[in-house]
Amino acid sequence: MSIENEVDELYRELILDHYRRPRNTQFIPEAQHNAEGLNPFCGDQINLQIMVDSDKVIQSIGQQGNGCSISQASASMLTEVLKGKSLEQAKSTNNCFRRLLEGETIEDSELASLGVLEALAGVRKFPVRIKCALLAWTTMEDALGDSE
């Protein structure tokens, strides 16, 4: 694949759309789980709030931040994909997404659970940007802590 194609894969339309029009940016003060994620190397920053019901299903999820297109699109996509999922499912999506970025082959059945996140697969070719794509997910891990 030429570098031009790789760049196009990195900046797919869906990614830039999430970057320009981030989803779920409302702040949720009553959320049980929240965290701030910071990538000091580049100054990317994400705040995440996750509100769950008594069955540990994500009722609403909010994110606010600033940074590069990849970090912000990933955060926006995270909120879209995780809404309505259980915390258990959220953790397995996190795991699956990380494997996708590490270049592992993901089974079609699992790929479906990633939804729009599959658009970020192009980041694999840009190792220095993987950290950008993972910031929201590391922040989610911090927010959920040891919660079961």
Partner 1 sequence: MFDPEDIKKDFPILKRQVHGKRLIYLDNAATSQKPIQMIDAITEYYKKYNSNIHRGVHTLSAEATQEYETAREKVARFINAPNVKSIIFVRNTTEAINLIAYSWGLKNLKKGDEIVLTEMEHHSNLIPWQMVAKQTGATLRFIPVIENGTLNLDSLDTIINGQTKLISMASTSNFLGTINPLDLIHKRAKEVGALLMIDGAQSIPHMATNVIDMDCDFLAFSGHKMLAPTGIGILYVKPTVLEKLDPFLMGGEMIKEVWLDHATWNDLPNRFEAGTPDIAGAIGLGAAIDYLEALGMDNVRKHEIAITTYALEKIKEIEELTVLGPKGIQNRGGLISFTLANIHPHDIGTLLDSEGIAIRTGHHCVMPMHRKLNLPASARASFYVYNTYQDIDIFILGLKKVVDYFNNVDRKRG
β-pair partners for 34: 49
Binding part of the chain for partner 1, among 34-42, 46-54, 93-101, 134-142 by CB under 8 A, reads 34-42
With beta carbons less than 8 A apart as the criterion, state whether 70 and 129 touch.
Answer: yes
**Binding status of residue 118 toward partner 1 by CB under 8 A:** no
**Binding status of residue 129 toward partner 1 by CB under 8 A:** yes
Nearer of residues 50 and 75 to partner 1, judged by Cβ:
75
With beta carbons less than 8 A apart as the criterion, state whether 2 and 118 touch.
Answer: no
β-pair partners for 51: 60
What does the alpha-carbon distance between residue 77 and residue 37 come to, in Å, rounded to a whole number?
16
Binding part of the chain for partner 1, among 87-95, 107-115, 126-134, 139-147 by CB under 8 A, reads 126-134
**Binding status of residue 44 toward partner 1 by CB under 8 A:** yes
**Binding status of residue 16 toward partner 1 by CB under 8 A:** yes
CB of 127 to partner 1, least distance (A): 11
* Runs of H (alpha helix) within the chain: 3-10, 13-20, 69-82, 87-101, 108-114, 127-144
Stretch 55-114 residues interacting with partner 1 (CB under 8 A)? 66-70
CB of 118 to partner 1, least distance (A): 17
Nearer of residues 13 and 146 to partner 1, judged by Cβ:
13
Closest CA to 78 of 36, 32, 23: 23
Residue 23 per-residue DSSP state: S
Q: Tell me which residues touch partner 1 (CB under 8 A).
A: 2-4, 6-7, 10-11, 13, 16, 40-45, 66-70, 126, 128-129, 132
